[in-house]
Amino acid sequence: MIASLPLLLRALCLLAAPAADPTIVPPTPDGSDGAAIRVLVETVVIDRRGTWSAGSDQADLIPGAAGLLKKSIELMAKDARRTKEAIEIEARLVPQRTEPGGPACALALVIETRAASAAPAAARPRSIGSVTATLALAAGEERFVDAYASAKTGGKVALRVRCDTARHDADGASAMVGIDLEVERRVEGEAPSVIGDQRLAAVLGREVAVTMSDHTTLPPAGEEGTRFRRERLDLLLSPVVVVAGKLQIEVRVQGEVATVASEGAPVEHPIDKTETFLVLPLEARTLEIIVPGGVAEGWSDLHYLVQVRTRF
């Protein structure tokens, strides 16, 4: 019980923090930001010693932000003198945003090889080769990229690249995330209204769920009697991982809007939309949901704006 007190106190502090400005920011034209990925790179060398690994490295990266890998390697020739060549490999990896249903990750890769030098650090070694490549990898797929072939020793260097989903690695107490959630409804002919405004505390790497519902009385249609619009939004918020000072949070909204009349079956409109955001602390992001109605139902152009702000 004592071990859980720090976690509980932090959750209470998150809940007690001052409320963020409730103004809904407009959704971005591009929608989802893409997701962070975990890139794994093994440096493979072939020379006199056979095929060997110069090490494996991994890093979590976000779309558009470069990761840099540097390796110092000594190649050895198969000749009698065992000629050696010291080189420095520098690989720049830039993840690209991928669309749902596309590859697990897309990477722009630039590799430059330089001759290692005993000169002072201020002197930049001369370049002896460069390679550019674009990789689109499915889940579990790996790709070899030739980085350097030595004319001096006959040795070769390649990078074995694969990627995975970035995830929070829990070590000890779980990190807490505060979420300010606001849902605004806009309907043609009706005043905008906030149908939900909540402050949540979530554990990084786990989901938190909330349901919002509302009923709106509609004008009767002819002699059909009374009718109303029934609304239910089930929101699932998943703070996944923090990378480069940004939190990846997935916002999924499911539910239904139905026009219910005293006679006849309800007219139902299902809702299912998901977007992934990469946000700085207190940065507001908005997911927009458009539900098409009809004049015959007594309403049209129904928009929900789901805004999240996070503290982490």
Please state the rounded mean pLDDT for residues 66-70: 96
Q: In angstroms, what is the C-alpha Rg of the chain? A: 27
Lowest mean pLDDT among 17-31, 42-56, 202-216, 239-253: 17-31
Name the strands in the sheet holding 193-203, side by side, starting at the edge strand that comes first in the sequence: 193-203, 176-187, 302-311, 285-291
| pLDDT (tens digit per residue) in 10-66 | 443 444 444 444 479 999 888 889 999 999 999 999 999 999 999 999 999 999 999
Q: Give the pLDDT of residue 169.
A: 83
As a whole number, mean pLDDT of residues 129-138 equals 96
| pLDDT per residue as tens digits for the range 267-307 | 999 999 999 999 999 999 999 999 998 778 999 889 999 99
**pLDDT at site 140:** 84
CA angle 134, 138, 140 (to 5 degrees): 120
Q: Please report the pLDDT score of residue 10 as a whole number.
A: 45
pLDDT bucket at 7, cuts 50 / 70 / 90:
very low
Q: Is the pLDDT of residue 264 over 80?
A: yes
For residues 25 and 222, which has the higher predicted lDDT (pLDDT)?
A: 25
Q: What is residue 6's predicted lDDT score, i.e. its pLDDT?
A: 40
Residues in the chain: 312
Contacts of 2 (CB under 8 A, 6+ apart): none
Please report, rounded to a whole number, the percentage of residues in the chain having pLDDT higher than 90: 73
Return the higher-pLDDT residue of 14 and 97: 97
Q: What's the confidence (pLDDT) of residue 200?
A: 97
pTM of the predicted model as reported, rounded to 2 decimal places: 0.82
How far lies 159's CA from each of 42, 66, 101, 151, 154, in Å? 6, 17, 26, 19, 17
Judged by average pLDDT, the poorest of 155-169, 216-230, 240-254 is 216-230
For residue 9, the model assigns a pLDDT of: 34
Position 136, amino acid: A
Distance CA 130, CA 10 (A): 49
- Extract the tokens encoding 279: 């946000």
Q: What 3-state DSSP class applies to 301?
A: coil
- Give the per-residue pLDDT at 172: 55
Q: Mean pLDDT in the chain?
A: 89
Average pLDDT over residues 96-110: 91
